[in-house]
């Protein structure tokens, strides 16, 4: 042993020198990247100064000078650029949130249908997935907008989808809620009921070691969620009414008007994203060991019960990570709205602001930053739910 010890000294010295060498390489790489960024920034600054391009953000409070058809907040051509940015951001958030809310459950249904023992159901689900997933999203948006919505009848011959819902060339009309003075009490009661239902669910899961909710806990949670707003509404004297759309001579009066650009974007995003989510769900369900399904069948559970109680909860661990990526893609793909005229963030801010303010660098930097924040926030929210499920399953 003593004769071998002198030979180990160079090896130990090399091991000690390796961290220092790795640190030096990383420092050199950081310096190189920093130098490249500094060079590019300085070059851009010089060209902007030479061409008289604005360098600051003074354009933010300048009049926008353009109109926006669809806006949930008050806006006009005399409003500021910052106001136009807010309109575009709200439109992007609305269509992205609704598309995620539609595509996720639809993807779960189609993904489970692909594994159905019924040959017709499985083939229809396969055609759905392959047909939507293998065609470009932009073409699907143009199809919904030009080949479907623009071919609908005029307002005089509107199609009644269900009572209070009219569809025509000008878009979709739905009943518009009109809150009265006492609606604030109903909203407060609904929020209080939501917190009470969440508290009941949390307590039931703490008591039950398996983390499953008993039938009584579900009943109490639903009662706590529904009863307070109903009671508050009865005591306040129906503080919420609806403005129903009514077809007229050349237009539809009243109701909530959803423009065809919004409807086409929502349909296209939801259906296209559901095809990818369906494959994620199918892969997650197939990742569950076959013995789990056989054990559930031996216990006498029906196929639906096996899916909801056995394979579904186990598959969520494999489904959530790729499902998060698909939800983030919904937010990013919403930027294609500019091709069908929906005033999202890209269409309103870079599309209409750059040519008026000439502040291309600032506008594009803000837009890229907003999409980065939206994508990271979406991923963080779903990741938080994933970690809660993993910690609950590990107890």
pLDDT range class, residue 329, cuts 50, 70, 90: very high
pLDDT tens digits for range 377-389: 888 887 777 676 6
Mean pLDDT for the stretch of residues 91-106: 93
Q: Residue 1 has what pLDDT?
A: 45
User: Residues, the chain, total?
Assistant: 395
Q: For residue 79, give the DSSP letter.
A: S
pLDDT value at 37 more than 60: yes
Q: How confident is the model at residue 394 (pLDDT cuts 50, 70, 90)?
A: very low
In the predicted structure, residue 150 carries a pLDDT above the cut 60: yes
Does pLDDT of 245 surpass 80?
yes
How much is the pLDDT for 5?
54
How many helices (H) and strands (E) the chain has is answered by: 12, 8
Residue from 241, 247, 218, 82 nearest 158 by CA: 247
- Nearest to residue 284, comparing CAs of 119, 114, 92? 114
Assess contact for 266 and 95: CB atoms under 8 A: yes
* pLDDT single digits (tens) 189-223: 888 888 888 888 777 766 555 445 555 667 777 88
User: Quick check: helix, strand or coil at residue 174?
Assistant: strand
Terminal Cα-to-Cα distance of the chain (whole angstroms) = 49
Cβ neighbours for 245, distance < 8 A, ≥ 6 positions apart: 164, 165, 166, 173, 174, 175, 252, 253, 254, 255, 256, 257
The stretch 32-59 carries a mean pLDDT of: 82
pLDDT band of 395, cuts 50, 70, 90 = very low
pLDDT of residue 170: 85
Confidence check: pLDDT of 101 > 90? yes
Q: Is the pLDDT of residue 15 over 60?
A: no
Does the predicted TM-score (pTM) go above 0.85?
no
- Distance, in Å, from the CA atom of 242 to the CA atom of 272, rounded to the nearest integer, reads 33
Q: Which CATH class is domain 81-152+259-394?
A: mainly alpha
Give the model's pLDDT for residue 293: 76
Spatial separation of the C-alpha atoms in residues 145 and 262, rounded to whole Å: 9
Task: Assess whether pLDDT exceeds 70 at residue 7.
Answer: no
Query: Which tens digit of pLDDT belongs to each residue from 173-183?
Result: 888 887 777 77
**pLDDT band at residue 143 under the 50/70/90 scheme:** very high
What distance in Å separates the CA atoms of residue 395 and residue 136, rounded to the nearest whole number?
44
Name the 3-class secondary structure at 226. helix
Please give the structure tokens belonging to residue 135.
Answer: 């065609």
Average pLDDT value for residue range 350-373? 83
């Amino acid at each position: 042993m003593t004769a071998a010890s002198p030979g180990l000294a160079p090896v130990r010295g090399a091991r000690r020198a390796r961290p220092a060498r790795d640190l030096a390489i990383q420092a050199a790489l950081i310096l190189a990247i920093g130098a490249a960024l500094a060079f590019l920034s300085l070059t851009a600054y010089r060209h902007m100064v030479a061409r008289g391009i604005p360098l600051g953000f003074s354009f933010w409070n300048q009049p926008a000078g353009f109109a926006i058809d669809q806006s949930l907040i008050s806006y006009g051509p005399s409003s500021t650029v910052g106001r136009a940015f807010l309109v575009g951001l709200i439109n992007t958030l609305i269509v992205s949130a609704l598309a995620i809310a539609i595509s996720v459950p639809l993807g779960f249904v189609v993904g489970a249908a692909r594994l159905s023992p019924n040959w017709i159901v499985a083939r229809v689900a396969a055609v759905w997935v392959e047909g939507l997933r293998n065609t470009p999203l932009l073409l699907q948006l143009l199809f919904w907008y030009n080949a479907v919505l623009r071919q609908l009848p005029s307002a005089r011959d509107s199609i009644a989808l269900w009572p209070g819902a009219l569809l025509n060339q000008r878009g979709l009309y739905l009943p518009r809620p009109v809150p009265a003075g006492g609606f604030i009490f109903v909203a407060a009661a609904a929020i209080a009921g939501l917190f009470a239902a969440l508290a009941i669910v949390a307590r039931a899961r703490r008591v039950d070691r398996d983390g499953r909710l008993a039938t009584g806990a579900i009943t109490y949670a639903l009662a706590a969620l529904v009863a307070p707003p109903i009671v508050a509404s009865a005591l306040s004297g129906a503080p919420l009414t609806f403005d129903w759309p009514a077809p007229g001579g050349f237009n539809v009066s009243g109701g909530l008007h959803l423009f065809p650009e919004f409807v086409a974007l929502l349909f296209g995003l939801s259906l296209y994203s559901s095809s990818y989510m369906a494959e994620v769900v199918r892969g997650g369900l197939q990742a569950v060991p076959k013995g789990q399904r056989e054990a559930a069948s031996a216990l006498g559970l029906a196929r639906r019960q096996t899916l909801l109680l056995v394979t579904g909860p186990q598959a969520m661990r494999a489904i959530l990570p790729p499902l998060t990526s698909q939800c983030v893609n919904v937010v990013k793909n919403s930027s294609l709205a500019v091709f069908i005229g929906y005033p999202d963030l890209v269409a309103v801010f870079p599309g209409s602001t750059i040519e008026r303010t000439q502040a291309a660098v600032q506008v594009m930097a803000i837009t890229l930053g907003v999409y980065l924040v939206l994508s990271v926030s979406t991923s963080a929210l779903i990741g938080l739910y994933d970690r809660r499920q993993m910690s609950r399953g590990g107890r």
